[in-house]
Structure 1
Amino acid sequence: MNNLAILAVAGVLLLPLLVFLRDVTSRRRRRLPPGPPAVPLFGNLLWLRHSAADVEPLLLKLFDKYGPVVTLRIGWRLSIFVADRHLAHAALVGAGAKLAERPRTATSMLLGVRENIITRSNYGAMWRLLRRNLVSHMLQPSRVDQFAPARVWARRVLMGKLRETSGGGGGDAPNVTEAFQHAVFCLLVLMCFGERLDEPAVRAVEDAERAWLLYISKKTSVFFFLPWITKHLFRGRLDAWHALLRRQKELFVPLIEARREYKKLASQGLPPARETTFQHSYVDTLLDVKIPEEGNRALTDDEIVTLCSEFPNAGTDTTSTGLQWIMAELVKNPAVQEKLYAEIKATCGGDGELLERSVRDKDNKMPYLNAVVMEGLRKHPPSHTLLPHKAAEDMDVGGFLIPKGATVNFMVVKEGLRKHPPGHIVLPHKAAEDMDVGGFLIPKGATVNFMVAEIGRDEREWEKPMEFIPERFLAGGDGEGVDVTGSREIRMMPFGAGRRICAGLNVGVMHLEYFVGSMVMEFEWKEVAGDEVEFAEKLEFTTAMAKPLRPRLVPRRS
C-alpha cells in the first residue's frame, strides 16, 4: 500500500475519533446523561451483538442502574433514552421545535429510504405541507364520514374471517391475529387508493409491504456501524432491499394511474369505470399537492408511492396489535367483556351500522367501550418507544443537557394504549439545539428516544398499573379525563406528544372502538381449555403478543 493510501485510510479512521474528542472536550463542563462506558469511534460495542428485539430489556437494566435518562453511543452517534413522564413533557411539549427533528440514519441513506414521508421528514416546509394535506383532506370529520361505507365493509371482512377461523362458530380459532391485520389493511388500502380491491389484490400489496417492513426490522441493523464498509460486506442485503422497493412500485403505480383516470372522468362528469371505486382517496390528495419551495412542482410517482406505503403501514400494525392485546384482556377478564357487551347491546342492539355511527359521532353513549380501548392503550402501547427525535440545538430539560443533533427516544411503558400500547418506544427525535433534561446536556443533533411503555405503567401514577381496569377511565377513576395528547401533562402517550404527535390519533381510537365493539357484539370470546392467554411480549414492527391469541369464539346470535 503506498503512502497516499495509508494516509487516506488513517484519515478515515481518525476523523470520527477527532470529532468524538472535540465533543467530549467542548462539553466536559456540561453533564451528558449517564450511560455505560463507550469506546471512542466504536461506541457501546455490546449493542452490536443484539437485535432490536433485545434492546428494551437491556434498556430497563440501564434505567435501574443510571436513572430515567440514559446515553448510548452507536458508533460515534449519540442516542439518549428518556423514561420519565415529566422530562418527556418538558422535552416534547415544552421545548417545541427544538426537538421536532427526525434523525437521518446511515442505514436510510444507504438503503435509499426516502425521507419525504410524514413520519420521517425533517421538521420544515415539506413536513408541514404533507401533514397539513393528510389532516385537511383525510382526517377531518367530514372526510372521516365519507369512509363510513369502507369501515362497514372492513367489518364484514373481519367477521367473515373470524367465522372462517372458528369453523363457522364455536370452534377453536387457530390464530385471530391474521384476521385483525387483514381487515385493518383492507380498510386503509381502500382509503389510500379509493378502490375496494379483491382479496388476491389486497394480499399482494399486504405481502409486499410486510416483507418490506420485516426486512427493515431484521436485516438492516448491520449498516448502523461503519456503513461505508458494511455496505460492501453485505451487498446482498442491499440488493434484496432494492428488489422489495421495485415490487412495491410495480403494485402501486397502476393503482395511482387508476386514480388519475378516475379524476379525469370525474372532471368530465362521467361515472367511474368500476362500481368498487370510491369517491375520495388519499392518492387524490397527493396528486393535487404542489411544492411551493420547488417551483410549485407536483409530487413524483416515486414520492407518491412512498407516501402511499406510509399510509397503511402507519395504521395497520398499530391498530391490529392494539386489537390483539385488548381482545386478549377481554378473554382473560370475562366480567369486563360482559359489562362491555351489555353497554353495546343497550346502545346498538345488533346493528353494526348503528355501532359505526355511535363511535364516529363521539356522542358518549358508550363510555365503557372507550374506557376499554384507553386501558388497552395504556397497558399495551403498540410501540414501546416513539420514533426518535433529534435535538436541533443544545437544550436543557429538567437539568439534563441534550446536545444538538443527539437522538432522543421516549419509552412508553414499563408496567401497558395504557397497559399494552402497540409500541413501547415512540419514533426517535433529534435535538435541533443543545438542551437540558434533568440537569444533563442533550447536545444539538443527538437522537432522543422516549420510552412510551414505561410511562403508561408507572405505579406512582396509576393504581395497580399492571391490572386491566377500564373503570379507571370512568368518572372518579385515576384516569378520568386523562389527556392522551400530552398537551397538559403526560401520563400515557401511545400516540406520542408535541409537534410530532400522530396525526391519526382520533381516527385510530375510532377504528379500535369500532372493531372491538363489533367483535364483542358478534361473539363471546372465551379462553380455550389448556391454552391459556399469556401476556409475554415480542418485538416485531410493533410490540405484539409472543404467544398469539387463540380464543374460542361463540356466536352471540344466529
Structure 2
Amino acid sequence: MALRSAVLFGGGFGTQYLKWLKNEAHEAEDVVQPLETFGHVLFSLALSMCFGVKLDDEAYLFPQRWKEMLAIRTRLVTNPIPMVQTRAHKMEENKKDGIFSYADSLLSLDLPGGGKLKESEVTTLCYEFLTAGVSTVVSSLQWAMANLVKYPDVQAKLFEEIERVTQKNGGVINEEDLKKMPYLKAVILETLRRHPPIHTLLPHRVSEDISLEGYTIPKNTYVNFMLVSMGLDGKVWQDPLEFKAERFMGGRESVDLTGTREIKMIPFGAGRRVCPGMGLGMFHLEYMVAHLIKEFEWKAVAGDEVDMAESMEMDIDYVMKKPLQACIVPRK
C-alpha cells in the first residue's frame, strides 16, 4: 500500500497526465482521444513500481520507439536486465532512499532450502509484472470513461460524491478518500461486469469423466469460463444489458470478486489462481477515474456518439473497436 501511494502521489503521475489531456484539448477544440495517455501513465506506474524509476516525459514523444519495442516483444524478457542489474548493485542505497521496488523484493528473496532467484528468473517475473496488468487496466479505464460520457447523469452523481468527500482536504484526493466513495467503486464494478477486459479464463482440462447439469464431459476435455456471459446472465443480474452502477449500492448486489463465496462475476479470475494484482488494479482504476472526473467534465463530441462496439486485440484483450473520443471541459 505504501509503495503504490508513493508511486502515485509522490511520483507526480496524479497531475502529469491531466496536463497532457489539457494540452491535447487546447490544441483540438476541447476534443481528446485519451487512450494513448491512459496507456502511457499506467505503463509509467508499472515501471516505477517494478524498478523504482520514472519514465521520462520525453519518451512520450517517440511513439515509433514504442511500436518498434512491441514488434520485438518476444525479446522483451531480456530488456529489463540492465535495470535489474542496476537495482542489484544499489540495494543498500535503495533502502536509504526508502524505495523498495518489486525488483528489489525479488532480488532479496531467500528461496526455500537456500539460494536466490537467477537473474533470468527475476527479469522474467519483471516482464510479467510490466505486461500482465497494464493493457487490461488501460482497457477498463477507457470503458469506464466511455460509460461516464454516455451517461452524464452517472457522471454528475459521481462528481458530487468526489466533491463531498474531498472538500475537507481542499479538493485533494487522498488514498483514504477512495474508501469513502462507494459510488466510485460501484461505477468501476459495473464497468467490469459489463465490459470485462478479458472474456475467458485460461483453459482447464477435465481430469476424469464428469456429469454436469445433464451433460457428460469426457476426460481430457478442455473447458473454459465465459466471464462476459456471467456478467450478462439475466438469471443473476436484473437488466443485465443496462449500465446501472446503483446495483452495487446499499447491498443491493453484493459481489465477491475472488469467487470464494460465490461466482457472479470474476473479472480477475478466482480461487487459488486469482489475479494477484486485483487490489492494485482496482486502486488504479478508482484513483484515475476520480481524478479525471474531478478535473474535467466529459462530454460526447457533437455528431459522434460513443460507440460501445468491442474488438479483440492481440488475441486476449477486448477493447473499444472505436477508441473513445470526447470533449473535456475543466471544472471550475
C-alpha contact 1:169 1:554 (8 A) present in aligned 2: no
Shift of 1:450: 1.1
C-alpha contact 1:526 1:552 (8 A) present in aligned 2: yes
| 1-structure distance, mates of 2:46, 2:309 | 28
C-alpha contact 1:208 1:247 (8 A) present in aligned 2: no
TM-score in terms of structure 1 length: 0.55
Deviation digits for residues 263-302 of structure 1, max 9, x if unmatched? 04357xxx55xxxxx611000111123443xx63322222
Residues 470 and 155 (structure 1 numbering): CA distance in 2 closer, same or farther, change over 3 Å?
same
Question: What aligned pairs does 1:335-350 form with structure 2 within 5 A after superposition?
Answer: 335-349=153-167
For the residue of structure 2 that corresponds to 1:384, the secondary structure is coil
Give the alignment partner of residue 4 of structure 2, picking from 147, 155, 162: 147
Residue in 1 aligned with 2:34? Answer: 176
For the residue of structure 2 that corresponds to 1:553, the secondary structure is strand
For the residue of structure 1 that corresponds to 2:263, the secondary structure is coil
Larger gyration radius, structure 1 or structure 2: 1
Percent of counterpart pairs with the same letter? 40
Give the alignment partner of residue 354 of structure 1, picking from 144, 166, 173: 173
Shift of 1:204: 8.5
Unaligned runs of 5+ in 2: none
C-alpha contact 2:34 2:324 (8 A) present in aligned 1: yes
Residue in 2 aligned with 1:547? Answer: 322
For the residue of structure 1 that corresponds to 2:208, the secondary structure is strand
Shift of 1:156: 1.8
C-alpha contact 1:169 1:553 (8 A) present in aligned 2: no
Give the alignment partner of residue 84 of structure 2, picking from 253, 256, 276: 256
Question: What aligned pairs does 1:50-69 form with structure 2 within 5 A after superposition?
Answer: none
Residue in 1 aligned with 2:123? Answer: 305
**How many residue pairs are counted as aligned between the two chains?**
326
Deviation digits for residues 141-176 of structure 1, max 9, x if unmatched? xxx123213112222232122112212696111x21
Q: Say whether 1:394 aligns with 2:208.
A: yes
C-alpha contact 1:209 1:313 (8 A) present in aligned 2: no
Deviation digits for residues 460-513 of structure 1, max 9, x if unmatched? 211111111100111263x2x211211121111111111111112122111111
C-alpha contact 2:209 2:216 (8 A) present in aligned 1: no
Deviation digits for residues 9-55 of structure 1, max 9, x if unmatched? xxxxxxxxxxxxxxxxxxxxxxxxxxxxxxxxxxxxxxxxxxxxxxx
| 1-structure distance, mates of 2:321, 2:176 | 34
| 2-structure distance, mates of 1:208, 1:279 | 30
| 1-structure distance, mates of 2:275, 2:229 | 19
RMSD across aligned C-alpha pairs, in angstroms?
A: 2.5
- AA matched with 1:451: M
Residues 395 and 519 (structure 1 numbering): CA distance in 2 closer, same or farther, change over 3 Å?
farther
For the residue of structure 2 that corresponds to 1:297, the secondary structure is coil
Question: What aligned pairs does 1:23-422 form with structure 2 within 5 A after superposition?
Answer: 144-152=1-9, 153-167=12-26, 171-173=30-32, 175-200=33-58, 207=66, 211=70, 244-246=73-75, 248-249=77-78, 251-265=79-93, 271=96, 279-292=99-112, 296-349=114-167, 353-359=172-178, 362=179, 365-391=180-206, 393-394=207-208, 396=210, 399-400=211-212
C-alpha contact 1:166 1:552 (8 A) present in aligned 2: yes
Residues 519 and 266 (structure 1 numbering): CA distance in 2 closer, same or farther, change over 3 Å?
closer
| 1-structure distance, mates of 2:204, 2:235 | 26
| 1-structure distance, mates of 2:247, 2:41 | 30
Shift of 1:439: 3.6
Residue in 1 aligned with 2:271? Answer: 498
Residues 211 and 460 (structure 1 numbering): CA distance in 2 closer, same or farther, change over 3 Å?
same
Counting strand residues as a fraction of each chain, which structure ranks higher? 1
Residues 330 and 454 (structure 1 numbering): CA distance in 2 closer, same or farther, change over 3 Å?
same
For the residue of structure 1 that corresponds to 2:41, the secondary structure is helix
Shift of 1:200: 4.4
Shift of 1:193: 0.5
Deviation digits for residues 221-252 of structure 1, max 9, x if unmatched? xxxxxxxxxxxxxxxxxxxxxx5444552x31
| 1-structure distance, mates of 2:251, 2:110 | 49
C-alpha contact 2:3 2:49 (8 A) present in aligned 1: no
For the residue of structure 2 that corresponds to 1:482, the secondary structure is coil
Give the alignment partner of residue 461 of structure 1, picking from 211, 236, 251: 236
Residues 454 and 200 (structure 1 numbering): CA distance in 2 closer, same or farther, change over 3 Å?
same
Question: What aligned pairs does 1:390-539 form with structure 2 within 5 A after superposition?
Answer: 390-391=205-206, 393-394=207-208, 396=210, 399-400=211-212, 439-444=215-220, 446-475=221-250, 477=252, 479=253, 481-539=254-312
Residues 333 and 199 (structure 1 numbering): CA distance in 2 closer, same or farther, change over 3 Å?
same
C-alpha contact 2:77 2:124 (8 A) present in aligned 1: no
| 2-structure distance, mates of 1:390, 1:207 | 37
TM-score in terms of structure 2 length: 0.89
